[in-house]
Amino acid sequence: MQRTMKPIPKWASILGWVFGGFFALGGMTEISGGAPVSSIAFFTISGLLIPPVREKVYGLTGIDIPMWIRGFSIFVLLLIGASISKIDSEQTSSTAKPMIEENVVDSISEETSAQKTGEEQQPDKISQSEEEKKLREIIGDSFVNIISIDLETVNYDENSNLVEDHQWAVDIVFKGKDSFTHKMIRAGIEMDMIKGYKAIYTSGIPIRAVTIEAHMPLTDRFGNEEMGRVYGTRLRNEVDYKVRWESRNFISINFTRLWETYWLQPFLKAVPSFWD
Nearest to 264 by CA among 234, 230, 215, 227: 230
Q: 64, 95, 126: which is the final residue of a domain?
A: 95
Residues 71 and 29 in one domain: yes
Q: Please give the sequence-ordered ranges of beta strands (E in DSSP) within the chain, or none if there are none.
A: 146-156, 162-175, 207-219, 225-236, 260-264
Q: Domain of 79?
A: 10-95
Helix ranges (DSSP H) in 220-276: 237-240, 266-269
Measured from the Cβ of residue 262, the count of other Cβ atoms closer than 10 Å reads 12
**Residue 220: exposure state from Cβ atoms within 10 A (0-12, 13-18, ≥19):** exposed
Check residue 107 and give its pLDDT: 43
8 Å CB contact between 189 and 181: no
Confirm whether 64 is domain-assigned: yes
Distance (Å, rounded) from C-alpha 5 to C-alpha 59?
9
Q: 36, 71, 95: which is the final residue of a domain?
A: 95
- Residue 26 identity (one-letter amino acid): G
Distance (Å, rounded) from C-alpha 130 to C-alpha 128?
5
Confirm whether 5 is domain-assigned: no
* Plot region of 223 (φ>0 → left; ψ -120 to 50 → alpha; else → beta): left
8 Å CB contact between 174 and 214: yes
Q: What are phi and psi of 223, to 5 degrees?
A: 90, 5
Confirm whether 38 is domain-assigned: yes
* DSSP letter assigned to residue 99: -
Distance (Å, rounded) from C-alpha 207 to C-alpha 141?
18
Residues 37 and 174 in one domain: no
Confirm whether 146 is domain-assigned: yes
Distance (Å, rounded) from C-alpha 12 to C-alpha 18?
10
Bridge partner residues of 231 (DSSP): 214, 264
Bridge partner residues of 234 (DSSP): 211, 260
Distance (Å, rounded) from C-alpha 256 to C-alpha 249?
16
Q: 42, 60, 95: which is the final residue of a domain?
A: 95
Confirm whether 259 is domain-assigned: yes
Three-class secondary structure of residue 192 per DSSP: helix
Residues 178 and 254 in one domain: yes
Confirm whether 275 is domain-assigned: no
What is the full per-residue pLDDT of the chain (276 aa) written as tens digits?
A: 445 556 666 776 777 677 777 777 777 776 666 566 666 777 787 777 777 776 776 666 666 667 667 677 777 777 776 666 655 555 544 444 444 444 444 444 444 444 544 444 455 667 889 999 999 999 999 998 999 999 999 887 666 667 667 889 999 999 999 998 999 999 999 999 999 999 999 999 999 999 999 999 998 888 889 999 999 999 988 887 788 888 877 778 889 889 999 999 999 999 998 887
Residues 116 and 91 in one domain: no
Confirm whether 102 is domain-assigned: no
Three-class secondary structure of residue 125 per DSSP: coil
Residues 144 and 17 in one domain: no
8 Å CB contact between 203 and 245: no
Confirm whether 100 is domain-assigned: no
Residues 129 and 254 in one domain: yes
Check residue 101 and give its pLDDT: 43
Count up the domains in the chain and report the number: 2
Residues 175 and 138 in one domain: yes
Residues 89 and 121 in one domain: no
8 Å CB contact between 218 and 227: yes
Residues 82 and 175 in one domain: no
Residues 115 and 225 in one domain: yes
Distances (CA, A) of 113 to 68, 246, 250: 65, 15, 19
Spatial strand order of the sheet with 260-264 comes to: 146-156, 162-175, 207-219, 225-236, 260-264
Residues 84 and 116 in one domain: no
Task: Report yes or no on whether pTM surpasses 0.75.
Answer: no
Residues 20 and 152 in one domain: no
